Amino acid sequence: MKLRRDPFQAIADPTRRAILMLLAAQTMTAGAIASNFDVARPTISKHMQILNECDLIESTQKGREIFYELKVDNMKEIDNWLEQFRKMWEDRFNNLDNLLAKIQKKEK
């Protein structure tokens, strides 16, 4: 049985966020992913393992190569949680826009 970690644990680390961004753009091998970082390859492998355990990435073997890709649908949990903050910030920006408009109107 595969261990399922909390996806928020995965995105808490900047290296794992960077790996997710790379995989959002394209499917890559572990070597290709590791070449984007100035750390030891086993370190990147550990990050990949955590992302896999969080079910945010999946691997597919093609010949001797293993390719990793982002499981976009599984990012929904993170997106749903962030949505509440998006609404809050949109409201704050709208209030700021309204205040700015009032100030500019008074200056005329």
Tell me: the pLDDT tens digits for 5-51? 789 989 999 999 999 999 999 999 999 999 999 999 999 999 999 99
pLDDT of residue 5: 79
Residue 10 contacts residue 16 (beta carbons within 8 Å): yes
Residue 59 contacts residue 68 (beta carbons within 8 Å): yes
Q: What are phi and psi of 63, to 5 degrees?
A: 70, -130
* Residue 1 included in any domain: no
* Residue 62 included in any domain: yes
Q: Would you say residue 3 has pLDDT above 60?
A: no
* Residue 35 included in any domain: yes
Q: Would you say residue 1 has pLDDT above 70?
A: no
Q: Is 10 exposed, middle or buried (0-12, 13-18, 19+ CB in 10 A)?
A: buried
* Residue 29 included in any domain: yes
Q: Would you say residue 2 has pLDDT above 60?
A: no
* Residue 78 included in any domain: yes
Q: Would you say residue 71 has pLDDT above 80?
A: yes
Residue numbers of the domain that contains 35: 7-107
Q: Domain containing 19 — which CATH number?
A: 1.10.10.10
**Number of domains into which the chain is organized:** 1
* Residue 99 included in any domain: yes
* Residue 61 included in any domain: yes
Q: Which two tokens stand for residue 67?
A: 């390719």
The widest CA-to-CA distance across the chain, in whole angstroms, is: 71
